[in-house]
Amino acid sequence: MTVIVALGDSTTAGTPYFLSPIEAPPDGRGDARGAWAHGIGERQKTWQLLNRGVNGERTDQIAARFTRDVLEAHPQVVVILGGVNDVYQGRTVAHVTGQLRAMFDRAAEARIPVVAGSIVPYNTATPAQNDAMRAINAWIGAEGARDANVWFVDTRAAAASPGDPDRLAGSPDGLHPDLEGYRRMGTAIEVVIAAALAEPRGGRAGAPTSLRP
């Protein structure tokens, strides 16, 4: 069985539809379709998707769980999606990119490929918050192009309105994607996980540019 860890905040957990197994042990609770990892697991029967999302967490809080939730699971790939709560709480772009880079480095040390998602929009974001999210997402994309162990996936594009990248295409609360948005995120992430698994352990010789849904 190929183990994939989905590490992140509410947009990994499946808020407001689903509480992850971290939030509601041992198996989670609610409508599992709200977690993008669930749909992948339904399609990829040889993959074990471990939902390690926690609603409301910043990147430093996600990073604090890295040993327990990633390294101890010995995954073949880790999907990292975080930063929106940092922006919401007024943390700097440098704070977010520093925490993400530290997680990327820990994964590389353990020879675990990283699939790194862009921050998903929320409808009440201010212009300054959207600017911060765009800056962080540009940095993640650049790391995906530079770092042979990091694969970028544009989860923001998957969840956003086709006509407005700063708003969700659909949302039950203005803060999180609807079921269709989570489904589209999962579809986009699945493609990139498959690409990462197809490469030799230790990363690519040449890293691609952004991979979109």
206 part of a folded domain:
no
203 part of a folded domain:
no
For 148-194, what is each residue's pLDDT tens digit?
Answer: 999 999 999 999 999 999 999 999 999 999 999 999 999 999 999 99
Rounded Cα gap, residues 148 and 116, in angstroms: 12
163 or 135, which is more confident? 135
| Strand-pair partners of 212 | none
H helix runs in the chain, sequence order = 10-13, 36-43, 59-64, 66-69, 84-88, 93-109, 127-146, 155-159, 179-198
For 40-72, what is each residue's pLDDT tens digit?
Answer: 999 999 999 999 999 999 999 999 999 999 999
- How many structural domains is the chain composed of? 1
For 63-103, what is each residue's pLDDT tens digit?
Answer: 999 999 999 999 999 999 999 999 999 999 999 999 999 99
pLDDT of residue 199: 81
Tokens (6 digits) for 182: 């989570």
Tokens (6 digits) for 128: 């300054």
Q: Is the pLDDT of residue 208 over 70?
A: no
Q: Is the pLDDT of residue 213 over 80?
A: no
pLDDT of residue 201: 53
Please name which of 150, 152, 118 lies closest in space to residue 136, comparing C-alpha atoms.
118
Structure-derived torsion over alpha carbons of residues 21, 27, 33, 36, reported in degrees to the nearest 10? 40
213 part of a folded domain:
no
207 part of a folded domain:
no
DSSP reduced 3-state for 167: strand
For residue 204, name the pLDDT band (cuts at 50, 70, 90).
low
94 part of a folded domain:
yes
**Average pLDDT, stretch 14-29?**
98
72 or 208, which is more confident? 72
Identify the sign of the CA torsion 35, 88, 159, 167.
Answer: positive
pLDDT of residue 168: 98
210 part of a folded domain:
no
Q: Which domain holds residue 72?
A: 2-198
208 part of a folded domain:
no
DSSP 179: H
204 part of a folded domain:
no
Rounded Cα gap, residues 37 and 40, in angstroms: 5
What count of Cα atoms within 13 Å lies in the side-chain half-sphere of residue 107?
33
CATH of the domain at 182: 3.40.50.1110
Q: pTM of the entire structure? A: 0.93
**Average pLDDT, stretch 100-117?**
98
For 187-198, what is each residue's pLDDT tens digit?
Answer: 999 999 999 999
Q: Residue holding tokens 């999180």?
A: 176
β-strand pairing of 47-53 with 164-168: unpaired
